[in-house]
Amino acid sequence: MGTVRITHLLLAAAFLLLGLILWAFSDALFAAHTNGLIYYFSSDGGEYYRLYDLFYADVELLDSPTLFMVGSPILMLKLAEGHLWVVQLVNLVVMAYSLRIGVDALPDMRSRIKFVVGALVFPYFVFGFLALNKEVYAMSSAIMLCAYYTAGKRRHLLLALFFAGLARYYMLLSFFFVILTVPRNKPPRYRAIIAIALGISFLGPIVKSLIPSYSKDEVLDVSGLTGLIFTAMIDHGAYFIAYPIKYLFLLPQRVYSWLIDPARKSNTMEAWVSLLTMFVMFRLALLVAGRRFRQSPSFKFVVVGAVAPLPMMWSDIMHWRYFSFVYFFYLFALVQYRAISRQTDPSDGLKT
């Protein structure tokens, strides 16, 4: 219990420092939302503020019900009556609270510190309080879901679902899918996962044909040839084949984008997101080969990370950002398993 309190103190100190940064640079961060500099820290922060200022600043909230589904950063700014610093402060509190319940679900001080470090080097999380964005809610909800799977507290589950919905409504669907197919106290339901993948393969083309302008030209224009191939596969009922290929293809794509266009503001951040995720996945891949890891409770988080984007990735969007929340499932699996290994075999901890 003492180590938990120490971890809480360290978290409080870290987020107090981040709060002071927010206070000291509040004017500069506001200006960055209007002059484009915010794109170094947020993929859409400037666009969210522009849309709020143009269309929603003087409109009653109930007159724009779509904000409750697709525009959570604009919705938050509307609720804050246009005060950007209020939204930033709320985001900082969400980040701090999600990390607190995340570290409380880990068994020792070493694993908690590793998890905090892993979270704070992940740009979509650590920059989440600087700008208007959805990623901060997506990453926080993933951490809360990890805490639910470990501790079983219904409060953590409800918070995970709430913030997943605040991030993106289809991420909420993804979490329901995960809870159904990878139950907390039972083995993963692999047959159900396969059946749902086949169901999406069959229904996906039908749904897309019923929704006018589902495949927006501007999305397809930036997808490239590979994106068009994936779209064609999904349109012809082959999503169950396209999913694992698209998953692995999107993962390093932002690194390639940075290599060919390092001057684009968000490319460096997005490339770092991909590199971190691939690093953690590589570490886990070495462990998955061993029977001991597959029989551990940590393996369940690997399954969650592998299948969570399944209800989402059949769209035409070709950007890892929408699925990057899986990093926290993989990170949690890695640090939790190392902690369990140290408890059962102290010599194993020396290898980390």
Residue 261 within a domain: yes
Residue 83 within a domain: yes
Q: Are 207 and 336 members of one domain? A: yes
Range of the domain at 100: 1-167
Convert the chain into a string of H (helix), E (strand) and C (coil): CHHHHHHHHHHHHHHHHHHHHHHHCHHHHHHHHHHCHHHHCCCCHHHHHHHHHHHHCCCCHHHCCCHHHHCHHHHHHHHCCCCHHHHHHHHHHHHHHHHHHHHHCCCCHHHHHHHHHHHHCCHHHHCCCCCCCCHHHHHHHHHHHHHHHHHCCHHHHHHHHHHHHHHCHHHHHHHHHHHHHCCCCCCCCHHHHHHHHHHHHHHHHHHHHHCCCCCCHHHHHCCHHHHHHHHHHHHCCCHHHHHHHHHHHHCCHHHHHHHHCCCCCCHHHHHHHHHHHHHHHHHHHHHHCCHHHHCCCCHHHHHHHHHCCCCCCCCCCCCHHHHCCHHHHHHHHHHHHHHHHHHHCHHHHCCC
Residue 173 within a domain: no
Q: Are 192 and 333 members of one domain? A: yes
Q: Are 151 and 203 members of one domain? A: no
Q: Are 139 and 238 members of one domain? A: no
Which of 120, 141, 167 is the last residue before a domain boundary? 167
Q: Are 138 and 190 members of one domain? A: no
Residue 207 within a domain: yes
Which of 118, 139, 167 is the last residue before a domain boundary? 167
Tens digits of per-residue pLDDT, 19-51?
Answer: 999 999 999 999 999 999 999 988 889 999 999
Q: Are 32 and 148 members of one domain? A: yes
Q: Are 79 and 211 members of one domain? A: no
Q: Are 156 and 239 members of one domain? A: no
What domain count does the chain have?
A: 2
Residue 53 within a domain: yes
pLDDT band at 206 (very low <50, low <70, confident <90, very high): confident
- State the pLDDT at residue 215: 53
For the ranges 88-102, 175-189, 225-239, which has the lowest average pLDDT?
A: 225-239
Residue 142 within a domain: yes
pLDDT band at 346 (very low <50, low <70, confident <90, very high): low
Which of 124, 140, 167 is the last residue before a domain boundary? 167
Percent of the chain with pLDDT over 70: 91
Q: What is the mean pLDDT of the chain?
A: 89
Q: Are 205 and 61 members of one domain? A: no
Residue 172 within a domain: no
pLDDT band at 315 (very low <50, low <70, confident <90, very high): confident
CB half-sphere exposure, 260, CA atoms < 13 A? 4
Q: Are 189 and 244 members of one domain? A: yes
Query: Taking 50 as the threshold, does the pLDDT of residue 110 lie above it?
Result: yes
Residue 247 within a domain: yes
Q: Are 36 and 127 members of one domain? A: yes
Tens digits of per-residue pLDDT, 175-204?
Answer: 999 999 999 999 999 999 999 999 999 998
Q: Using alpha carbons only, what angle is made at residue 154 by residues 189 and 192, rounded to the nearest 5 degrees?
A: 10
pLDDT band at 349 (very low <50, low <70, confident <90, very high): very low
Q: Are 87 and 118 members of one domain? A: yes
For the ranges 2-6, 10-14, 141-145, which has the lowest average pLDDT?
A: 2-6
